[in-house]
Structure 1
Amino acid sequence: MSKLWVIVPAYNEEQGIGATLAALAAQRDRDFTLVVVDNNSTDGTAAVVKDFASAHPELRIEIVAETQKGTGAAADTGIRYAIAEGATRIARTDADCLPYPDWTARVHAAFDSGLRLVSGQLIPRTDEGVKWLDRTVIRVALEVASTFGKFRPGNQDPRYLGPYVMTPGCNMAITAELYEAAGGFPRTAIEDLHEDRALVNAVRMITTDYGLRRDVRVRASNRRVRAWGIKNTLAWYADHRYKPELVDIR
């Protein structure tokens, strides 16, 4: 059995998850098990995954269900399922993201270097009709947020053993033992809490074996920018200062 399991939470991703699955099928290192967590979808998400699995029997693809709404809850269910099945290394991306072809290989290399929590690099997708300028603003904003996070009052605590490292939930990896020791992702909805920030801060109380690896790359969706505009999107990610009527943009 592969040491690496890849977890993909999915809610109503019938239209887009095929591209994510194709990107994972195109990995140079395909020695991993993929778990898609159907987060109580009301569309054909599960059927798309099942059809893809049937068309790609060489891949190990499993579907588990989580009825509690939220990326935190769904990711936690998927990761704990993988650990129960024997996973020792877990990577997570989201159902609207496109991992680079060397993503799983780079995740392994990061673990082999001694890291127990790996923070990857986000690069905006270019196939969603979002203007180049807005994509550039997002990339700059991510760098600013990463720097600001080191000084953010909410990320300061004398119990932390090392500096804050922004760790996006859609491009991260963690060892099974550290995930359990840190308590895992909070089982929350994205409207309530950024579960990735909570996990990395829990890790910081346990170890300094975490860090950013810019060669662990995922193309992330800009659909919130397309729906809300750049200003509101940035306000949303800055502690939900923008509160839209619909969060689950599809």
Structure 2
Amino acid sequence: MSTPPDELQGTEAPFVSHLIELRDRLLKTVYGVGAIFALLCLFPGPSRMYDLLALPLVKALPEGSKMIAVGVVSPFLIPIKVTLLVAFGAALPWVLYQIWAFIAPGLYRHERRLVLPLVTSSTVLFYLGVSFCYFFVFGQAFPAIQSMAPASVAVSPDIEAYLDFVITMFIAFGVAFEVPVAVVVLTRLGVITVEQLREFRRYFWVAAAAAAGLVTPPDAVSMVALLIPMGLLYEVGIVASQFFLKHTQPPAEETTG
């Protein structure tokens, strides 16, 4: 059987051309994030952006309570940081497109069939994880936490500490929602098989429960809110792995399989 022709033969570019291409992609990424950041600074503005981020906590605080700023420049810097983070999150599809446009010419056809759907799905899943955390988990966890505060304690969270907490939680839920992508990648690389994933199911639930207990606030609602989606997404990953294994095989595997 003759060896199929190399799809990338003749497409090699000098090293300097790769550097120029990388520079251009990085500049486009910075311009994209900067443009969204400038728009957000104009409307709704950094202060309003922080108000929106803090809304779930502020609604749970006792009547008349407010957040405080311990640092001298915190009232200015923290809203700017929030706006920049939101700008980067909003520009994430553009950032990932620039990465994809840079690496795509060096990928085989079957690799492109794998990478592009994974990049798209990982972006959507990360957004879903962050949205789930903000709209559901915060709404349930903050009232539960505030109800545990002693009557002798005046609850006035610091805005910088709150931002650090929110970033940690967003990353935790965003990464947790990437379980199907991780499962697909591991199976496609041959690290684990679909049959082994099914056998590992019970151990995954235990590991997921331990992870949820470590990264979430000390209340049962937040832990369960992270554990259940991780378990369900693990099952989605098993189904998706079977699909990707079938449709992203290299030509040699397709002819011999």
Q: Which has the larger share of helix?
A: 2
TM-score by length of 1: 0.27
Which one has a larger percent strand, Structure 1 or Structure 2?
1
